[in-house]
Amino acid sequence: MKQPRTINKRLPTPIHKWNLPGLPANTEVYIKRDDLSGVQLSGNKVRKLEFLLADAVSVGADCVITIGSIQSNHCRSTAVAAKYLNLDCFLILCTSELQVEKDPGLSGNLLIERLVGAHIELASWEEFEKFGSWTLLNSLKERLVKDGRRPYIVPVGGSNSLGTWGYIEAVQEIEQQLQQGEFGEMAFDDIVTACGSSGTIVGLSLGSRLSTLKAKVHAFSVGEDPENYYAFAQGLLDEFQAGLKSRDLFQIQDSKGLGYAINTTEELEFIKEVAEATGVILDPVYSGKAAYGFWKDMEKYPTKWEGRKVLFIHTGGIFGLYDKATKQMSDMVGRWQRLKINYSIPHKDASSYW
């Protein structure tokens, strides 16, 4: 698809082997590092925003509006990417009814958003559920238009038919990386990723179907029940007029645990163990939940994955860890001690050199 390129992204993102502990026999897992896609570590959102913000510029917008949770990776990515293009950014961030009248603070993604000058407006989850995202977005758009602005709405997660092209093209990128022969004569049997608003999995599935890759896509849901994601995905497929059913394209498994952006101790311990074992940092909202769900599925159904070559898409979101650090993870990662110095070892006065 021909589309103006507008964002200073870092593509292709690398693929490397990922030695997760406890893999079934002859199972090989690789990881595609879309967490390194550029735009201040904006992850999978960069691929969607490349198309959406190009459209915003082409229609003469002077600002963008989007919506998400209080620690939304998508909202932070949109705020940063918009500034690359000299666009103002207005964010509707959803939080609890108890917090909606309070300053949201500076933890995690909020700090990045506020550093780049995003305009933050808070709404409650109750309002989101009652009115829906489009009503809230259009309400803000109407107000901005009255003020003489030219706003462009970016949907939740950047997931519409235009944004989905980002992951259709990502499959072409994966094909090219395999064709370059870095991994020998290899093909991936499966692609695994998180599912938050369905755009990524629809793009991967369509791209795989249209390419020589033909990998089976497995999505692990992080916020809604799988039934809802199948419905969201079907809406995107209908926008494409693809004549396809979402259930025929991919498998969605429930990995939300306690709920969106709410973590169990086991999930956070898994993130820590993976970091210690492999050096790969997963985020607590998307990639961490998806990888944990994938790992548990391999543990429960090892024969399902035996002998498979699997590509896990790391969707980014590292800033979300900072929101968890002081609340839930301090006991897990808090090891330290005072250095014990043996003063009997011969030494020189170090006052004049390092």
pLDDT band at 335; cut points 50, 70, 90:
confident
Active site residues: 72
Instruction: List the one residue out of 249, 182, 201, 209 whose CA is nearest residue 30.
Output: 182
pLDDT band at 6; cut points 50, 70, 90:
low
pLDDT above 70: percentage of residues in the chain: 95
Instruction: Tally Cβ neighbours within 10 Å of residue 151.
Output: 23
Calpha distance 158→272 (Å, rounded) = 29
Q: Is the pLDDT of residue 353 over 60?
A: no
* Dihedral pair phi/psi, residue 280, rounded to 5°: -95, 125
Task: Please report the DSSP string for 249-314 in residue order.
Answer: HEEEEE--TTSTT---HHHHHHHHHHHHHHSPPPPTTTHHHHHHHHHHHHHH-HHHHTT-EEEEE-
Calpha distance 88→122 (Å, rounded) = 17
Answer whether 0.75 is exceeded by the pTM: yes
pLDDT of amino acid 304 = 96
Contacts of 162 (CB under 8 A, 6+ apart): 51, 52, 55
Residues in the chain: 354
Q: How far is CA 2 from CA 54, 55, 59, in A?
A: 11, 12, 16
Contacts of 9 (CB under 8 A, 6+ apart): 37, 38, 39, 46, 47, 50
What is the 3-state secondary structure of 112-174? HHHHCCCEEEEEEHHHHHHHCHHHHHHHHHHHHHHCCCCEEECCHHHCCHHHHHHHHHHHHHH
Q: What's the distance, CA 194 to chain centroid?
A: 8
* Dihedral pair phi/psi, residue 141, rounded to 5°: -60, -45
Instruction: List the one residue out of 210, 202, 218, 212 whose CA is nearest residue 177.
Output: 212
Domain 15-42+159-329 falls in which CATH fold? Rossmann fold (3.40.50)
Supply the CATH classification number for the domain 44-157: 3.40.50.1100
pLDDT band at 276; cut points 50, 70, 90:
very high
Q: Is the pLDDT of residue 350 over 90?
A: no
Calpha distance 290→274 (Å, rounded) = 13
- Nearest-5° angle of CA 230, CA 234, CA 236? 120
Q: b/e per residue, 160-176, with b = 16+ CB within 10 A?
A: bbbbbbbbbbbbebbbe
Q: Is the pLDDT of residue 236 over 90?
A: yes
Calpha distance 344→210 (Å, rounded) = 70
pLDDT of amino acid 329 = 84
Which residue spans of the chain are classified as CATH 3.40.50.1100? 15-42+159-329, 44-157
pLDDT of amino acid 187 = 93
Calpha distance 321→326 (Å, rounded) = 9
Instruction: State the number of CA atoms in the 13 A half-sphere of 194 facing the CB.
Output: 30
pLDDT above 90: percentage of residues in the chain: 84
273 bridge partner residues:
none
Q: What is the pLDDT of residues 148-174, one digit of tens each?
A: 999 999 999 999 999 999 999 999 999
- Nearest-5° angle of CA 34, CA 217, CA 25? 90
Q: What's the distance, CA 107 to chain centroid?
A: 18
Across 33-46, average pLDDT: 91
pLDDT of amino acid 207 = 97
In the chain, the amino acid numbered 267 is: E
pLDDT of amino acid 55 = 97
